[in-house]
């Protein structure tokens, strides 16, 4: 027969853990809301940039920029993996590490000189454990990535690209599709390919076929503006990756902690049942002893 006291102890510890996971779930929910607000605040900027680009194309400007064109020979490539600084968020980091590892191996087969940059402590330790050397690591990104910080990384990458030290940049991150769905995606950010920030929405094309809404005056010239728009849209894209990743992390943690709490509830239930049974069994045994003793005397 199981010892009731041991069972009770286990039940208590499960209860304590449940308290922790429940709190973590609540914290993750609050953080997710904040991250979500930030992500939606950022869309106002991207919308305006898209509008600007469509206005530029409407003015009959040929869109061409070194950042948009694929290089004939890719000698140097970089892979940026965005993971979380903390664990306890289900398969979030594991999936990213696996995808990053796969992509890096693929990239290595294609390009002679590859560098790996990782953001987030979990990804850094995970990839190190798998024996993959990391060239650059960032740990400053928490649940609120700041544009300044992303801008610094983006500027470094752009400078490398401009000076020919980098020909291709891939980013592995968790894309936020909806609250119920986030997927690990690999995206090539350099060369940019197209300027469409909201690829997949489909309404921007329709707009550009319409006649010019305003006759804009360009200062100093459309070409000069384009020269600035392209790097900016790269920075915004990268920033969006970071924001998506932050939101997805909080969602993953929320879901993981929710199921942990539920599991703890189930465990408590089954432990309680076992405990009660053991206790009752003991009482019955003692009663049997007593009755047996009385019978023997009489």
Q: Which residues bind another protein (CB under 8 A)?
A: 38, 41-42, 44-46, 48-49, 51-52, 55-56, 146-148, 151, 159, 162-164, 213-220, 224-225, 227-229, 232, 235-236, 239
How far apart are CB 196 and another protein at their closest, in Å? 17
Residue 38 or 258 with smaller CB distance to another protein: 38
For residue 159, the minimal CB distance to another protein (Å) is 5
Q: Which is nearer to another protein, 104 or 242 (CB)?
A: 242
Q: 268 Cβ partners below 8 Å, 6+ apart?
A: 11, 14, 15, 18
Distance separating alpha carbons of residues 104 and 120, to the nearest angstrom: 17
Query: Taking Cα atoms as reference points, which of 129, 131, 133, 123 lies closest to residue 171?
Result: 123
DSSP string, 27-48: HHHHHHHHHHHHHHHHHHHHHH
Nearest distance, CB of residue 248 and another protein, angstroms: 18
Q: What one-character DSSP code corresponds to residue 71?
A: P
Residue 124 or 236: the one with the smaller Cβ distance to another protein is: 236
Q: What is the C-alpha separation between 80 and 186, in angstroms, rounded? A: 10
Q: Which is nearer to another protein, 189 or 229 (CB)?
A: 229
Q: How far is the CB of 209 from another protein (least distance, A)?
A: 19
Q: Rank residues 23 and 221 by Cβ distance to another protein and give the closer one.
A: 221
Distance CA 169, CA 106 (A): 13
CB of 225 to another protein, least distance (A): 5
CB nearer another protein, residue 172 or residue 243: 243
List the beta bridge partners of residue 78.
Answer: 115, 169
Residue 173 token pair? 């991150």
Q: Could you give phi then psi for residue 113, rounded to 5 degrees? A: -115, 105
For the CB of residue 218, give the shortest distance to another protein in the complex, in Å.
5
Q: In what order do the strands lie in the sheet with 181-190?
A: 136-138, 113-119, 76-82, 168-178, 181-190
Residue placing its CB nearer to another protein in the complex, 238 or 252: 238
Q: Distance between CA atoms of 104 and 102, rounded to whole angstroms?
A: 5
Q: Cβ 148 to another protein, closest distance in Å? A: 7
Q: In Å, what is the CA distance from 232 to each residue of 78, 227, 240, 271?
A: 20, 9, 12, 58
């Amino acid at each position: 027969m199981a010892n009731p006291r041991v069972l009770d102890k286990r039940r208590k510890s499960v209860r304590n853990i449940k308290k922790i996971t429940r709190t973590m779930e609540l914290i993750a929910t609050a953080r997710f809301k904040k991250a979500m607000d930030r992500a939606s605040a950022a869309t106002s900027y991207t919308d305006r940039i898209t509008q600007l680009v469509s206005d530029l194309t409407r003015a009959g400007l040929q869109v061409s920029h070194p950042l948009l064109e694929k290089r004939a020979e890719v000698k140097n490539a970089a892979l940026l993996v965005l993971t979380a600084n903390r664990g306890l968020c289900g398969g979030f980091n594991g999936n990213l590490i696996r995808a990053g590892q796969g992509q890096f191996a693929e990239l290595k087969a294609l390009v002679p000189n590859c560098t790996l940059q990782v953001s987030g402590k979990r990804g850094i330790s995970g990839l190190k454990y798998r024996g993959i050397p990391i060239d650059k690591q960032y740990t400053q990104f928490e649940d609120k990535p700041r544009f300044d910080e992303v801008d610094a990384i983006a500027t470094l990458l752009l400078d490398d690209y401009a000076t020919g030290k980098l020909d291709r940049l891939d980013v592995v991150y968790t894309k936020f599709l909806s609250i119920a769905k986030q997927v690990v995606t690999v995206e090539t950010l350099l060369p940019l390919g197209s300027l469409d920030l909201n690829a997949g929405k489909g309404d921007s094309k329709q707009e550009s076929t319409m006649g010019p809404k305003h006759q804009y005056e360009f200062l100093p010239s459309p070409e000069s503006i384009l020269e600035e728009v392209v790097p900016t849209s790269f920075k915004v894209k990268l920033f969006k990756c970071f924001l998506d990743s932050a939101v997805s992390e909080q969602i993953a943690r929320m879901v993981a902690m929710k199921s942990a709490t539920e599991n703890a509830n189930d465990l408590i239930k089954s432990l309680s049942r076992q405990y009660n049974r053991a206790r009752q069994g003991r009482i019955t045994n003692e009663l049997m002893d007593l009755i047996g003793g009385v019978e023997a005397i009489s």
